[in-house]
Amino acid sequence: MAQSSSQAASIPIWRDERYLKLIAQIVFAVVVVLTANYLYQNMVNGLRQQGTTLGFTFLGGIAGFDISETLNDFSRTSAYWQAFLAGLYNTLLVSIVGIVLSTILGIILGVARLSINPLVRWLSAAYLEIMRNLSLLVFLIFWYLGVFLKLPRVREAVEWPGQVYLTNRGIVMPWGLPTETMPMYRTILIIGLCLALALGLVLFLRGRQTGKPPLTLLWSTLALILVAVIGWFVVPAAPLSLDLPVIQGLNITGGKTFTPEFMALVSGLVLYTAAFIGEVVRSGIQAVSRGQVEAARAIGLNPFQTLRLVVFPQALQVIIPPLTSQYLNLTKNSSLAIAVGYPDLFYVSNTIMNQSGRAVEMISLVMLTYLTFSLITSVFMNWYNARILLVER
C-alpha cells in the first residue's frame, strides 16, 4: 500500500493516467457543450430574424386543415395538438395491425422454409430474395399507385366471396354495427376476460406445484370464447347488427370502407416485414439443436409435447430479440405513409409544420415520439432478457 501510494506520488501529474483521463473527459465535454451551444445560438438568431422564437404554445392554435381518416373526433377547428394526436393514433393503428399480420405471415413463411416439400421451401426462399432486395419506399409507391389505385371503379367493382368489394376508392367489407345492447355485452366481455386471466393464473400456479405444465393459454382462450358466446345469446338483442355493403349507382353504402392509402400502407409493410420475420423464425427454429428433439422423444414426449415444451421455448429465446427489432422497424417504416398519403404521425406533423411554420418544434416532437416507442421497447427487451437469463440459470 505504502509503496504504491509513494509511487503514485512520484508520477508527475501530466503522466498520471487518472488525471489524463479526467482531463480528456472534461475537454471532450467542453467541446461538445460549446459546439451544441454555438449551433443553438445560430438557430435562435436565425429564427429571430425570421420573427419567431422557440416554444410549444402554438400547439393550442386552431389547425384549420382536414385529416382524411382519424380515430379521434378531429375537425378543421380542432387544435394542432389534437391533429398530432390523430396522427399518433393512426401510426399506432397501422403499427399494431401491421405487427399482428406480419407475425402471422412471417411464421407461415419461416415454417415453410423448413418444410420437407421442396416446392414450398423454394417459394418461401424466393419470396425472401425478392422482398429483401426491394426498396420499401418504391415498393409502397408501386403498391399504392400501381395496384390499389388501379382497381376498378365502384361501378365495375371486383366482388370477392362474402360481399367484399375491391374498388379504387377502397376495400369495402361487411361490418358489425353496435346496437343498444352493446354496453351490456361489453361488460360481459370484460368479466369474461377477468375470468380467463384468473383461470390462467390458477392453472399456471398448479402447473408450478405439480410440475405438469397444463395448456394454460388454450384453456384461458376457451373460457373467454365460452363467455363471449353465452353472453351473445343472453343479452336481449344481438349486440352487433350485420351491415352489408351495397352498390348504389356510383357509390357504395354500408359496410366498412378501408381507404386505398390505409390498405396499401398496411399490406405493403406486412408483405415487406413478413419476409424478414420469416427469416427470424426460421433461424430460431434451426437454433434448437437436433439433440434436444431426440432427447425429448427419448424421454417419452410425443411430437406435440416436444414442440410445446422443448423446441418452442428454446426457439422463442432466440426469436424474441430480433423479432422486437423487426416490430420497431415496422413502426419506424410506417412513417413512409407520407409517400402514399395516409395521415400518420409523420404526415400530420409535416402538415402542421407547413401550416404553422414551426419546423424545429415539430421535428423535435416527432423524433421524441418515435424515440419513446423505441425506448419503451428496449426497456421491455432488457426486462425480457433478464427473465430469460434467470430461467436459464
Partner 1 sequence: MAAVTDIKPPLSERPSPLGWARKYLFNSLGNSLLTIFSIWLIYTVGIGLLRWVFTQAEWQVIATNLRLILLGQYPIAQVWRIWLSLLLLAFLIGNSLAIWGKAGKTAKRFGAGLVAFPLLLALTAIGAESRGWLVGLSAMLILGWYLGRPATRTLRRVVAVGWFIWPPIFLILLRGTTPAEGVLPIVGTNLWGGLLLTFLLTVVGIVFSFPLGVFLALGRRSELRIVRWFSIGYIELIRGVPLISILFMAQLMLPLFLPAGITIDRVIRAMVGITLFSAAYLAENVRGGLQAIPKGQFEAAHAMGLNGLQTMSLIVLPQALRLVIPILVGQFIALFKDTALVAIVGLLDIVGIAKTVLAQPDFLGLQREVYAFVSLLYWVFSYAMSYVAQRLEISLGVGQR
The answer to the question of residue 267 lying near partner 1 (CB under 8 A) is no
The answer to the question of residue 21 lying near partner 1 (CB under 8 A) is yes
Query: What distances in angstroms separate CA 141 from CA 138, 201, 276, 342, one per listed residue?
Result: 5, 47, 20, 12
The answer to the question of residue 53 lying near partner 1 (CB under 8 A) is no
Asked if 172 and 245 count as a contact pair (C-beta separation under 8 A), the reply is: yes
Q: Tell me which residues in 170-209 interact with partner 1 (CB under 8 A).
A: none
The answer to the question of residue 118 lying near partner 1 (CB under 8 A) is yes
Rounded Cα distance, 62 and 60, in Å: 7
The answer to the question of residue 366 lying near partner 1 (CB under 8 A) is yes
The piece of 56-64, 165-173, 367-375, 381-389 that touches partner 1 (CB under 8 A) is 367-375
The answer to the question of residue 125 lying near partner 1 (CB under 8 A) is no
The residues, ordered by sequence, that sit 6+ positions from 69 with a Cβ below 8 Å of its Cβ are: 90, 259, 261, 262, 342, 343
According to CB under 8 A, which one of 4, 6, 7, 45 is a site residue for partner 1?
Answer: 45
The residues, ordered by sequence, that sit 6+ positions from 216 with a Cβ below 8 Å of its Cβ are: 200, 203, 204, 207
> What DSSP letter does each residue of 65-104 carry, written as one string?
S--SS-SS---TTSBHHHHHHHHHHHHHHHHHHHHHHHHH
Rounded Cα distance, 281 and 320, in Å: 9
Size of the site for partner 1 (CB under 8 A): 56
C-alpha cell at position 310: 422443448
Q: Report the nearest approach of partner 1 to the CB of residue 256 (Å).
A: 27
The 303-342 contact track toward partner 1, x by CB under 8 A, reads -----------------------------xx-xx-xx---
According to CB under 8 A, which one of 355, 374, 384, 388 is a site residue for partner 1?
Answer: 374
Asked if 358 and 352 count as a contact pair (C-beta separation under 8 A), the reply is: yes
Rounded Cα distance, 355 and 91, in Å: 21
CB atoms within 10 A of CB 387: 10
According to CB under 8 A, which one of 4, 5, 7, 49 is a site residue for partner 1?
Answer: 49
Name which of 165 and 346 has its Cβ closer to partner 1. 346
Name which of 89 and 232 has its Cβ closer to partner 1. 89
Residues lying near partner 1 in the complex (CB under 8 A) are found at 21, 24-25, 28-29, 32, 39, 42-43, 45-47, 49, 115-120, 123, 129-130, 132-139, 141-142, 145-146, 149-150, 332-333, 335-336, 338-339, 346, 350, 353, 359-360, 363, 366-367, 370-371, 373-375, 378
